A and B are shown apart, each in its own frame.
Chain A
Amino acid sequence: MSEALAELLRHPALWRGDTAGAAVRTIPSGFPRLDARLPGGGWPASTLIELLVSSAGVGEIRLLLPALCRLALASPESPRWIAWLAPPHLPYAPALADAGLDPARMLVIQPRAGLDRLWAMEQALRSGACAAVLGWTGAASDQALRRLKLAAEEGQSPAFLFRPPLHRDEASPAALRLALTARDYGLDVEILKSQGGMPARIDRLSIH
């Protein structure tokens, strides 16, 4: 490699596909097979992550639980919320406690109107008061998703956005997009998009 090229590559504004992932702060997912396929070895810590779920309840929360526990325990002296925005059902406190998540750190937000959901999710992300925000916002424009991503970066909080699989073929600004399908007591995880990583497929990830 020529001297000039090496110098050029040291420029901070230039990034290369194979190293970009390492610069991103990540949270281990708790599933080694998944971590191996994610750049930086885990969930990106402060950006938008989109999860396309075939039907609510396939195991999408189980998939996040180890990371949520890690996030909730990250700063015991001034803990941050785990925010649940318009979840399809209410998070069940005894099960959360069994899983090791302190129910006192849960913040359930149930806006009545659809537009308020995006607004509330953005507020929760931007505030810096949430360790993670789990959102079920329904329809969202490309611009709204961009705003969520910016808010997540600003508040340094991962935004897990759950959407139905019909949005699969739409373009999305999310840093990571996964499609989740249940199969034979396990979860098929398809990495559709991964900034700094590669699309990949993990069959029958055991999450129980």
Chain B
Amino acid sequence: MIEGRPATSRPAPAKHRPALDLVPERPLPTTDAGPRELWLAAHFPRLPLDAVLPASSSARAAVVTAEDDPKRRIVACNERASRQGIAPGMGLSAALARVPGLRVEERRPAAEAALLDRLGRWALRFTPVVSLEPPAAVLAEIRGSLDLFGGAMALCRRALGALHDSGLQASLALAPTPRGALWLARSDLGLSVTRVAAMADVAARLPLSCLQWPAETMETLAGLGIQNVADLLRLPRAGFVARFGPRLLDELDAGIGRRPEPRRRHVVPERFDERLDLPMEAGDTGALQPALVPLLQALDAFLRARASGIAGLRLDLLHRGQPPSRIRLGLVRPAGDVAHVRGLLAERLARHRLTAPVRALRLRSGVLLPLTLRDSGLFERGQSADPEATARLLDRLRARLGRDSVFGVCPVAEHRPERAWRIAEPGGTVPLPGQWPVTRPERPLWMLAEPQPFDGWEGTLVTGPERIETGWWDGHDVRRDYYVALTRSGVRLWLFRERPPGHGWFLHGVFG
């Protein structure tokens, strides 16, 4: 049972292709007896181009080239470029020889991911079950939405119309398995399948290119004389796994409905975003503090209703006729407690210098994060730290003193004393590789940031010398004799003399 409808959105009219007649249904060994699904796949073959160039710039031939490719091969091109004989896979120099005035852009994976994410959000208007298939496809399970949209074809027409209006080239296909729908959409034959039983037969007629397997796998398959999916399905399963691994066989099985394929749902992250217009423009930050209260109350209610916390916030101060001032707040741990956030924001606001009067506030949360519930130590407090207390302390100190004024220290396995440690994120020490050398002579508890010239000191040398000669390989070589010295006032110091002698004494540490 096949509905052969061309489901392609492209500015040029799509060619009508005849429907395929199908071999009668043949039972499969393990047909999925679960709830029947119908997946709509949308494949965007020109996504690299659409992500980089707006649809309006189609007046000129344009191409997108692969990144990190010495030949700068073309990944996608617009309609005008393909009319002038340019096709994906062509080297850039060949394309420029054909069309000298070609507009060339480099591929931007981040922009592509962002566009695909937007398309995923858009697909959520048809069904709550949407899954992305990077780099260039969106899958949606639409069985439950068919009545609402007046059937599968009406839904597809509607989707195609919207995609066409936004200038995106897309091919759509329906199938009972997500992977099957993806194959059909990629092969762009205008085929759709609605029953699992028919999937294997339809898939057999598809070109291998719709699988989008790695190039070396495709080469091996070509070497075996395998032309299409039908040949592939005839291969012995054990041999296939031995040669290509189990993942590709799972993919094949999932495509034809022999095994279910769990898909990761595309979920739009929820955020708090509210704006408050001030009754009158505020000229100093003190007047903003009370205005924040209702916004924070709304945030509190929002977080409580979702049992969630936030790891970051942005407060925009909106001015008249100039861009807003932004105050960003990052938290060490997700906080669900608005009182904590209020304290931090008040601290930041108090330090903020207003460039212009403020007429409105906008409070926008980062992504919501689940809060881990904790028992708050009913009987004994203070013996062990509540992890939130440690994070809260860091947030509070950093909000007032600045991020760099609060840090941790971390030892580094290195013989040069000044390189045997580094500043680290508090609590974020990496374990030392191997055994920490504890057999070396004692080290001072306090280290000077830089060795200081220290001639003319008075006291006695207690121990030494300890010779440290290393680092010649990286240009920071150290040739020193270290001594422990005791000054007249009873302070133990760590001093060194450079070798060969002649530079005098340097103070490097204090034993404390």
Contact = CB atoms under 8 A, between A and B. Distances in A.
Interface of A: 46, 54-62, 65, 74-75, 77-81, 87-99, 102-112, 116, 119-120, 123-124, 127-131, 155-157, 181-183, 185, 208
Contacts of B449: 89-90
B405 A80 contact: no
27 contacts: A54-B490, A56-B510, A56-B512, A59-B511, A60-B512, A75-B384, A78-B385, A79-B385, A80-B385, A89-B449, A94-B443, A95-B445, A103-B408, A104-B408, A104-B410, A104-B428, A106-B408, A107-B408, A108-B409, A116-B400, A123-B393, A123-B396, A128-B386, A130-B385, A157-B382, A182-B490, A185-B486
A107 B382 CA distance: 17
B381 interface: yes
Nearest to A156: B382
B443 A106 contact: no
A113 B420 CA distance: 29
B240 interface: no
Nearest to A104: B429
Contacts of A80: 384-385, 390
A88 B427 CA distance: 22
Interface string B387-415: 10110111011001100011111111000
Given A106-B409, A112-B405, A62 B491 contact: no
Contacts of A112: 401, 405
B438 interface: yes
B486 A56 contact: no
Nearest to A86: B405
A92 B447 contact: yes
B383 interface: yes
Interface of B: 381-387, 389-390, 392-394, 396-397, 400-401, 405-412, 417, 420-422, 426-429, 432, 436, 438, 442-449, 486, 489-493, 509-512
B406 to A, nearest CB: 5
Say what secondary structure dominates the interface of chain B. mixed
Given A75-B385, A92-B443, A130-B385, 17 more contacts: A55-B491, A79-B384, A90-B446, A90-B447, A95-B444, A98-B438, A98-B442, A98-B443, A104-B427, A109-B406, A112-B401, A120-B400, A124-B397, A128-B389, A129-B389, A156-B381, A182-B491
A61 B408 contact: no
A120 B429 CA distance: 23
B512 A81 contact: no
Give the 6 A-B CB pairs with smallest separation, nearest first.
A182-B490, A156-B382, A75-B384, A104-B429, A61-B512, A89-B446
Contacts of A56: 491, 510, 512
A110 B449 CA distance: 14
A91 B420 CA distance: 12
A107 B389 contact: no
B31 to A, nearest CB: 51
Contact of A62 (B392, B428, B445): B445
Which of B417, B432, B486, B511 has the most chain A CB within a 10 Å cutoff? B511
A51 B409 CA distance: 24
A47 to B, nearest CB: 12
A144 to B, nearest CB: 17
A171 B53 CA distance: 74
A13 B385 CA distance: 30
Contacts of B417: 94
A89 B510 contact: yes
A181 B490 contact: yes
A57 B383 contact: no
A110 B408 CA distance: 11
B411 A103 contact: yes
Nearest to B398: A109
A61 B405 CA distance: 22
Nearest to A153: B382
Contact of A57 (B421, B428, B493): B493
B445 A61 contact: yes
Contacts of B394: 107
A87 B408 CA distance: 13
Contacts of B409: 90-93, 96, 103, 106, 108
Contacts of A90: 409, 446-447, 449
Contacts of A120: 397, 400-401
A106 B273 CA distance: 37
A75 B384 CA distance: 5
A77 B386 CA distance: 10
A22 B136 CA distance: 73
A57 B485 CA distance: 12
B490 A103 contact: no
A58 to B, nearest CB: 5
Contacts of B405: 109-112
A181 B383 CA distance: 32
A181 B438 CA distance: 29
Contacts of A61: 445-446, 512
Nearest to B396: A123
B512 A109 contact: no
A59 B492 CA distance: 8
A93 B343 CA distance: 33
B386 A78 contact: yes
Contacts of A208: 492
Contacts of A99: 445
A108 B420 contact: no
Contacts of A57: 446, 491-493, 510-512
Contacts of A78: 384-387
Nearest to A123: B396
A95 to B, nearest CB: 4
Which of B384, B386, B392, B409 has the most chain A CB within a 10 Å cutoff? B409
Contacts of A127: 389-390, 392-393, 396
Contacts of A182: 489-491
Contact of A46 (B382, B444, B490): B382
A33 to B, nearest CB: 18
Which of B390, B393, B428, B447 has the most chain A CB within a 10 Å cutoff? B393
Nearest to A120: B397
B255 to A, nearest CB: 49
A92 B397 contact: no
Contacts of B512: 56-57, 59-62, 89
Contacts of B493: 57
Nearest to A119: B400
